[in-house]
Amino acid sequence: MSQPVSEGPVVVVTRRWPAEVEEELRRHFPRVRLNVDDQPLGPEGLRRALAEADVVLPTVTDPLPADLFGGEVRCRFLGNYGVGFNHIDLQAAACAGVVVTNTPGVLTDATADLAVTLMLMVARRAGEGERELRRGDWTGWRPTHLVGTELTGKTLGVVGMGRIGTAVAQRGHFGFDMPVVYCDSGDGPADLGWARRVDTVQEVFETADVVSLHLPGGGANTHLVDSGLLARMRPGAILVNTARGDVVDTRALIDACASGALAGAGLDVYEREPDVPEELRKLDNVVLLPHLGSATREARIGMGMLVLDNLQAFLDGREPPHRIA
Ligand code: DGY
């Protein structure tokens, strides 16, 4: 990045970031306001940030709906720390003259690894076993104890074949010898040779033993996975969601897992984070993680550095590499 200017823009960071990246911010932006308490700013705090700062660096826990862009907006650059942006009304931001960027790519491997972790945990009943042992209920090895299933040779279905979906498909196919079927509503790959593209999400759900979701939240994708789609899954199938919670109708998923129609589900994201329905938490065949997809040092530092790259391009008058509005 270029050297600090005497004062520079007022930059608001909405949550704590990795120390290495906060250090970079301090070095280059003397008027940066870091969130040392790491508490969400809330609607009023975000409104104030948009009104007072030249640059706001939000993340997934900062809803930025249209009305926040309706008032006084001094902010000219919104650098989202994260790849998903369904929490930001991009149209309203653009109308208010705010450039918006995100951080794709650097969290692909971390998130794909976590999707596979969830598949394995559900298939091998690892969560159940861990809880049993910690409760002190393990009575020792026996042939019928917590018998799960193997991923090897099972069909993997990927909904949304972007960067993360493709990385999950690669792990499944080349790591576990899984035939892969996928669908993509956008410009995902037409044919990969080792993975078969199908036309509809229904076909993926009907064909696969393990379905992994990799599509954005919000809009038409809200409750895309409903009771009808879940009913199409093979008996004993597994659903994994590391994308966005609202893509799955939680009520329908609870019913499918409780009835035994599905072998189980692995979830990293929820409809109303951080609330996770008690009924879901009670299900033994559901593995629940607290939105950890990108939670590796590599990914989280990479995300911060990418926000800074986008910001520096904007300040230099260049097109930010990951502009979304
Ligand atoms: C994202 O980037 O959208 C994740 O949900 C958080 O890393």
The pLDDT tens digits for 163-204 are: 999 999 999 999 999 999 999 998 888 878 999 999 999 999
How far apart are the CA of 300 and the centre of ligand 1, in A?
A: 10
pLDDT band, very low/low/confident/very high, at 2 (cuts 50, 70, 90)? low
CA-nearest residue for atom 6, ligand 1, is 82
Instruction: Write down the mean pLDDT value for the chain.
Output: 97
C-beta of 107 in contact with ligand 1 (< 6 A):
yes
Coil, strand or helix at 286: strand
On whether the 11-105+296-315 domain is CATH 3.30.70.1450, my answer is no
d(CA 170, CA 115): 12
Nearest to 78 by CA among 61, 90, 95, 66: 90
Q: Is 291 a catalytic residue?
A: yes
Residues 236-256: what's their mean pLDDT? 98
- The pick from 111, 113, 114, 247 for probing ligand 1's pocket by mutation, whose C-beta has the most ligand atoms within 8 angstroms, reads 111
d(CA 148, CA 298): 32
| CATH number for the domain running over 108-288 | 3.40.50.720
Give the Cβ contact number of residue 25 at 10 Å: 21
Residues 79-97: what's their mean pLDDT? 98
Instruction: List alpha helices for 29-174, DSSP H.
Output: 42-52, 90-95, 108-123, 126-135, 163-170
C-beta of 60 in contact with ligand 1 (< 6 A):
yes
pLDDT at site 199: 95
Residues 231-245: what's their mean pLDDT? 98
Q: Is 26 a catalytic residue?
A: no
pLDDT at site 6: 59
pLDDT at site 204: 98
Residues 277-298: what's their mean pLDDT? 98
pTM: 0.96
C-beta of 320 in contact with ligand 1 (< 6 A):
no
- Give the lowest-confidence range in 1-10, 97-106, 193-202: 1-10
pLDDT at site 189: 87
pLDDT at site 3: 47
Residues 278-301: what's their mean pLDDT? 98
**Strand order in 195-197's β-sheet?**
195-197, 180-183, 156-159, 210-213, 237-241, 262-267, 286-288
Per-residue burial over 78-117, b if 16 or more Cβ lie within 10 Å, else e, is: bbbbbbbbbbbbbebbeebebbbbbbbbbbbbbbbbbbbb
Residue 282 predicted with pLDDT over 50: yes
How far apart are the CA of 68 and the centre of ligand 1, in A?
A: 21
Is residue 211 within 8 Å of residue 233, measured between CB atoms? yes
Among 171, 244, 300, 322, which one carries the catalytic annotation?
244
Burial status of residue 302 (CB atoms within 10 A of its CB: 0-12, 13-18, 19 or more): buried
**Strand order in 11-13's β-sheet?**
32-33, 11-13, 55-57, 77-79, 99-101
ipTM: 0.98
Numbered ranges of CATH 3.40.50.720 in the chain: 11-105+296-315, 108-288
How far apart are the CA of 200 and the centre of ligand 1, in A?
A: 26
C-beta of 12 in contact with ligand 1 (< 6 A):
no
